[in-house]
Structure 1
Amino acid sequence: MCYYTNWSGYRQGEGRFSINDIDPNLCTHIIYSFARIQGNGLATTEPNDPEMYKQMMALKQKNPDLKVMLAVGGWNHPAAPFTQMVSTEQSRAEFAENSYNFLKQYGFDGLDLDWEYPADRGSPPEDRHRFTQLVEQLSTKYKPQGLLLSAATPAPAAKYDSCYEPEVCQHLDFVNMMTYDYSGPWERFAGHNSPLTAQKQSVQNMLQKPACTPDKLNLGMGAYGRTQQLVDPSQHAIGSPSTGGGPAGQYTGESGFLSYYEVCQKIKEGWVREWSNEHQVPYAHSGSGWVGYDDTESIAAKVKYVFQFN
């Protein structure tokens, strides 16, 4: 299951990644990100989204088994539209009907709820229960019509438990665990973006929930790293003191963040790659620059862990 962000096509030069660059046989599901909440319905976020939807659906001509879903929300989506939409049984029912029509209009196979997060970041405590009511109503509407329903959820156990009721899983086809961003430039130490040790703890917490069976859980793996500026370049192990995020990448343009291909470029330029046996992940450093990321070796370790549940 792979996410495609609608802003990646705006990057310059070799950093640009358009729908035409997608291998339609690489993923079983592609989630187009993001739509937004407008009233009690869905709306596009970019003027060219409808054309991008068409291009995405054209991938099915090369892989008829491919499922294409639409994500709504994201980190930058305000809480208020979600809160208004879930506020009453009627508003939720209208969203179920309107979202169903939107998905059918553009040919999507389902909806991924990426509300970050119910009962948090400006969302009142009541939204925790209202989210459960929402997914129950959406499931009732979608499943008889063959539409999929998933939710992107935070990885830390305390965060998940404060935002979602235990029974949420029973109404979802998938739970897309955001098992990354465990650490980042908001901290003052070089913490890794997605250590396997932390991911295992997140999975164990989810498996304790009703209906959160392994076949419903997707372990999130980010194709990027989080950067830090080290206080002392000679202290570069995971957990070393830092002063905040590193400079923006050449293509992604965001402080504290480097895409995998930008990390690879850094290593070609002389950054030293290290490996954490404890966390089963790599990190790289040069001078005060530091990045914790995933590569083929760490992804293989995570896949091996996931296969234990088959």
Structure 2
Amino acid sequence: MIRLAVGALALLLPTAFAADCRVATVGSPHSNCWDIATAAGISTTQLSSFNPGLDCGKLQPGQRLCISSGTLPNISPKPNPDGSCATHTVAPGTWCALIATQYGITEADIERFNKNTYKWKGCSSLQANAIICVSSGTPPPIPVNPNLQCGPESPGNKTCPLNLRRTCGGSQLKRKIGYYAGWAARRSCQSFKPNNLDLQGYTGVIFAFATISQSNEISLASADEQILRDTANLKNKWPNLEVTIAVGGWAFSMDDPTKTLFTQMISTRANRAKFITSVQNFLSKYNLDGIDIDMEYPAAIERQGPTSDTPNLTAFFSEIKTALGSKVVSVAAPAGYWFLRGFEINKIVKDVTYINMMSYDFHGPWDLAVQGEDGTAKPHTSSKEIMDAINLYTRAGVDFNKVNLGLAWYGRTYAVGGCRGTGCLMSGGGKPGPCTGESSIKSQTEIWNEIKDAKITPTYDSNTHTYWYNKDGDFITYDDTNSWKYNLNGTDKCETAASALRPFGCYKDCCLYLGVGEYDNVQIRAKEVKEAALSILDICHGAGLSRRGAQRRALPLAALVPMIIGKWNMIVYINIGAAVIGALATALSVIFKNWNDDEDRGEFVLQTVQETQKKYPEFNIIMAHSDHTPSFEEPCYHRHVEFDRPFPHGTYGYEIYLARRGNFTLKGDGGYMNWAWSGYISEDPNNKKQLAVHPPGAGYGYAAPVQGKYVENGQTKSTELIVSLG
């Protein structure tokens, strides 16, 4: 029986344990399937049969292939006897798939092995010189940096002098704050003035930036004075809005000759007192609600900041909070330990109304000079790094009721040549945007316009929850609606507020070149069409009809709007959204086509403009009068009612439009425009000639060619006009 049992076992061995195959390694010396098969004396069909799932177009250097029947010998590393994982040091210019082939594992294995590895950001953000796991087991120890005084990388893993207590709990969005940059109103293109701001839902606006004078007083550029007053006046429309002034900023804090002025101001009690007194007078002069301190960064070696900055800044916040009482005192603070260590954040937090955490610019072209970075293009925001920043503040004992999460309203660009996607080696910043004019950065509006104009389909990176695309040798990375939603939802684990830490600009729902079918919130658009149209109907009446009679004829059409809204997704899906809204506006216009009440004719135009502007102050009213209807091709326009009746002083018909404030392209067929109030029309930014449309004054204003026709030296010329509403 023993002999039979052994014999039975021997018969089972060939089927239970397959033999190892003969192995060829890609690149040693052959690098394609044909050469490898030929050298092994087999066909490519046999090579594929020996390697199920083989893709000859995706061979990796070092990849092992079977060139006979059998299975690949298992060379994958085993965990160390102490339970720690086998490790690999990432060489510059390598990637996960290449490393995986070296160890006979997969890229998915590397992701799985390194879930708990220190500073692991996924294969898409693999860092040079990082020590990673290539087997299961406990992750490698955190590398020691002898230059650090505390923290996880310091010798002995010393605890940093921050209170360690956790305050994460429920979440409730309590604040929504935006930075408004004064220079946005002065840009040559895509200018954005304070009255362009749609502040619905915002609790505060921070005006950037005031500075500090050599005499330790707050100072504001003369070009910003009226812009700041206009910003403060927004409180007339939004009474609960808090408007504050930001002092400092990156350039002021880091560049000569101003980089020493923060240090100088906070260095003595007398200097601090002089600055605080000037702030009190400044807030009173401009009717402001407080101040935001943006010192980048105290005690930072990058600006040769002395270590005394740290206690002096703490003393400053204590003193200014006492002096300003109920006024807002906020601080812009970094999202990483390196710069945060210059703040006694656990002491400062009790003296500030809130902290604006700058949870962006984690990466950029400056990574080329950062030790430990591999010189590859990475998203400047990242959901993982944002959560790391939140954890850092939590460990610092910061009450997250006082923290505003920074959301970037711009993207970063890298020069990467022909390489595509994240992880490409960069040579520096990408090309400047047409309006921002600065390498390595593009505004959100520039990015949206570029995507639309070039018909680009961006890629969503689910690892970092950011978007990217490549264009003209540049890698562009940015956030969008899904990114912001994800990051805000992620903060539900910690009680935090939200702060849109960005220069306000054109919003996507009214931005350039976005068609109805691409509009993110089309129901709001349909609602605006309904409400604005009805606001005009409220003061209209037609030939032979009383106002009430006219409304009775019009309201059944207006009643269709709720039905349109309810079916809007389907309408957009079948691509008839523009036609539906256009038909509604046209039908309403027919009711008032035969206007013949001479007494009301001119008064009606002015009354319509005045009352609609009062009810919808975030819009501009545009009146066009022409024998030929101008063609408005941008979605920021909402045409509501057409009137084929003349102005009192002419025989032209006219139309009334409602347009969001902002920049947009205006095209037409040779008709003329009248503006209800001040604005200006300028040519294409590449053409220096300027055309102006003046305020109406006592009359109806001055006409300017819609299509861009103008007379110069007796010759009629044409150009496409760019319109900026003020």
TM-score (norm 2): 0.41
2:476 and 2:209 map into 1 onto residues whose CA distance is 27
What residue number does 1:208 align with? Answer: 395
Which runs of structure 2 are paired with 1:51-200 in the superposition (5 Å)?
A: 51-77=226-252, 78-120=258-300, 121-143=303-325, 146-187=326-367, 188-200=375-387
Kindly provide the CA deviation profile for residues 267-289 of structure 1, in whole angstroms up to 9, marking residues without a partner as x: 22033411111111111113522
1:26 and 1:184 map into 2 onto residues whose CA distance is 31
Could you tell me whether the CA contact under 8 Å between 2:290 and 2:328 is conserved in 1?
yes
2:438 corresponds to 1:258: no
Paired residue type of 2:366: W
- The alpha carbon displacement at 1:163 in A equals 4.2
Which runs of structure 2 are paired with 1:266-305 in the superposition (5 Å)?
A: 266-268=450-452, 269-305=454-490
Kindly provide the CA deviation profile for residues 76-125 of structure 1, in whole angstroms up to 9, marking residues without a partner as x: 11221111111111221222222112112211101000111111213211
Paired residue type of 2:391: Q
Q: From 21, 37, 42, give the equivalent of 2:212.
A: 37
1:53 and 1:10 map into 2 onto residues whose CA distance is 13
Paired residue type of 1:201: D
2:291 counterpart SS class = strand
Could you tell me whether the CA contact under 8 Å between 2:289 and 2:327 is conserved in 1?
yes
Could you tell me whether the CA contact under 8 Å between 1:129 and 1:165 is conserved in 2?
no
2:413 corresponds to 1:227: yes
- The alpha carbon displacement at 1:229 in A equals 1.3
- Gapped regions of structure 2 (runs ≥ 5): 1-176, 253-257, 368-374, 496-726
1:270 counterpart SS class = coil
2:284 and 2:347 map into 1 onto residues whose CA distance is 28
Paired residue type of 1:265: N
Q: From 184, 187, 202, give the equivalent of 1:11.
A: 187
> Whose Rg is larger?
2
Paired residue type of 1:30: V
* Higher mean C-alpha displacement, 281-290 vs 115-124: 281-290
2:428 counterpart SS class = coil
What residue number does 1:27 align with? Answer: 202
1:48 and 1:130 map into 2 onto residues whose CA distance is 32
Kindly provide the CA deviation profile for residues 137-166 of structure 1, in whole angstroms up to 9, marking residues without a partner as x: 1111112xx211001111112221234453
- The alpha carbon displacement at 1:240 in A equals 2.0
Kindly provide the CA deviation profile for residues 231-251 of structure 1, in whole angstroms up to 9, marking residues without a partner as x: 442xx3322211111110011
Kindly provide the CA deviation profile for residues 186-234 of structure 1, in whole angstroms up to 9, marking residues without a partner as x: 2331111111111111111112224x2111111111110000111442x
Could you tell me whether the CA contact under 8 Å between 1:270 and 1:286 is conserved in 2?
no
- Gapped regions of structure 1 (runs ≥ 5): none
Could you tell me whether the CA contact under 8 Å between 1:154 and 1:179 is conserved in 2?
yes
1:232 and 1:151 map into 2 onto residues whose CA distance is 41
Paired residue type of 1:20: N
1:69 and 1:306 map into 2 onto residues whose CA distance is 25
1:194 and 1:69 map into 2 onto residues whose CA distance is 26
2:210 counterpart SS class = strand
Paired residue type of 2:437: G
1:170 and 1:177 map into 2 onto residues whose CA distance is 16
What residue number does 2:144 align with? Answer: none
- The alpha carbon displacement at 1:12 in A equals 2.2
Could you tell me whether the CA contact under 8 Å between 1:12 and 1:251 is conserved in 2?
yes
Kindly provide the CA deviation profile for residues 168-196 of structure 1, in whole angstroms up to 9, marking residues without a partner as x: 21111111011111111223311111111
2:452 corresponds to 1:238: no
Q: How many residues align?
A: 303
Kindly provide the CA deviation profile for residues 23-53 of structure 1, in whole angstroms up to 9, marking residues without a partner as x: 13242100000000112221102x2322112
* Higher mean C-alpha displacement, 160-169 vs 276-285: 160-169
* Higher mean C-alpha displacement, 90-99 vs 199-208: 90-99
Paired residue type of 2:467: P
* Higher mean C-alpha displacement, 55-64 vs 265-274: 265-274
2:436 and 2:194 map into 1 onto residues whose CA distance is 17
- The alpha carbon displacement at 1:19 in A equals 0.8
1:246 and 1:276 map into 2 onto residues whose CA distance is 20
* Higher mean C-alpha displacement, 167-176 vs 63-72: 167-176
Could you tell me whether the CA contact under 8 Å between 1:31 and 1:69 is conserved in 2?
yes
Q: Which has the higher contact order (CA 8 A, sep 6+)?
A: 1
1:168 counterpart SS class = helix
TM-score (norm 1): 0.93
2:491 counterpart SS class = helix
1:182 and 1:164 map into 2 onto residues whose CA distance is 21
1:207 and 1:34 map into 2 onto residues whose CA distance is 29
Could you tell me whether the CA contact under 8 Å between 1:128 and 1:165 is conserved in 2?
no
Identity %: 30
1:83 and 1:54 map into 2 onto residues whose CA distance is 29
1:182 counterpart SS class = coil
2:260 counterpart SS class = helix
Q: Relative to structure 1, is the Cα distance of residues 255 and 193 closer, same or farther in structure 2, using a 3 angstrom cutoff?
A: same
Paired residue type of 1:216: K
2:465 and 2:345 map into 1 onto residues whose CA distance is 31
Paired residue type of 2:269: E
Paired residue type of 1:138: I
What residue number does 2:618 align with? Answer: none
Could you tell me whether the CA contact under 8 Å between 2:309 and 2:342 is conserved in 1?
no
2:376 counterpart SS class = coil
1:31 counterpart SS class = strand
RMSD: 1.5
Paired residue type of 2:378: G
- The alpha carbon displacement at 1:11 in A equals 1.5
2:331 counterpart SS class = strand
What residue number does 1:248 align with? Answer: 432
1:25 counterpart SS class = coil
